[in-house]
Amino acid sequence: MYNIPNLSIIGIIMEKNIKIAIVGGSGLTGSELVKILMGHNYAEIMFISSRKFKGMSIKEVYPGIESDLEYVGQIGPEELKEADVLFLCMPPHDSMRYLDENLAYCKGMIIDVGSDFRIGDPGEYQRWYGQEHAAPNILDRFVYGLPEINKSKIKGAKFIANPGCYPTSALLGLFPILDSGLAGADPLIIDSKSGVTGAGRKLGDPYLFINLNENFYAYNPVLHRHIGEMEQEVEKICGRRIDISFTPHLLPVARGIFTAIYMNGVDISKEDIKPLYEKYYSTSAFVRYNDRIPQIRDVAGTNNCLISAVYDARVKILKIFTAIDNLVKGAAGQAVQNMNIALGIDEGEGLRLQGINT
């Protein structure tokens, strides 16, 4: 168990003892994180930052969240010294700059919900994100926080890189097959559809209601930055590089990701698929196999990942389908799941969410 001052089993039961700081807490992921942590028995949000909403309370910005805690303009050395867990909910390139300046003051665990520490090689980071990494000296300290795959490494970790939403949806579907040695032929074809919250709160023509409503399209179909993260993790489990062709699409829905994966040249019987997945995720709190192809509606508002697969014997293609909520299992929920595992408390604490079924 990661040792936090004054944090004991007895203390945890008696009061909220995990002191939380959130940098960038007014975005969509940040607000989702607030909602989850407010339902967490052992966590208390002490500091939350937003340059835009400095001095305003959370419920003034998000009236549906009953919290009088005020946003501060920045979380600096004094706050960092008090925080047991620091969540970074920042755009690309911002988390690494923040830690480059403030790491010396961080006494507790750091969970980067952004993208700066997911790719472990600084050269690969520059390739996919278009600039040099600002804190390459601490890249190797971060554990890739996909709990169903890296739980043993996450336990007791101080630095955790939360996976991206698209990679989460793809890797959870792929790993049972890849780990069994059925890699198939290059390339892996991954086709994902995401709700508009995946783009954050930024304004732009593609995200205006008049352009998104009753519309559907692909974007960034070549060299999407999440490919680097996916290829890195696939190589770890396969022992060799496998090329990935990834195409994301934007759906006219608020939240959720539906991913379809096509694996060529895989030789597996349809009777073997379900047992393979069920065995692989037999101890998972949030991932399960479904006979029915999952739908976004099944997982919206939850930390679950539902998976189904079919084998097209005629063309020898395995088709894998997954569904997650991009804001929960794809971001804030997975971050809290990582925190729970690292601290040695119940993995599902604060995450037993019933979802949105209509």
Phi-psi region of 190 (alpha: psi -120 to 50; beta: other; left: phi over 0): beta
Helix (H, G, I), strand (E, B) or coil at 314: coil
Q: What string of DSSP letters covers 197-221?
A: GGGTT---GGGSHHHHTT--EE---
Distance CA 249, CA 88 (A): 26
315 contact partners, CB below 8 Å, separation of at least 6 = none
Instruction: Measure the CA angle with vertex 39, ends 37 and 44; round to 5°.
Output: 45
Length of the chain: 358
Does 187 sit behind a cis peptide bond, omega within 30 degrees of 0 on the bond before it? yes
> Is 238 assigned a catalytic role?
no
Distance CA 258, CA 195 (A): 9
Residue tagged active-site, from 89, 106, 165, 305: 165
The residues that are catalytic are: 165
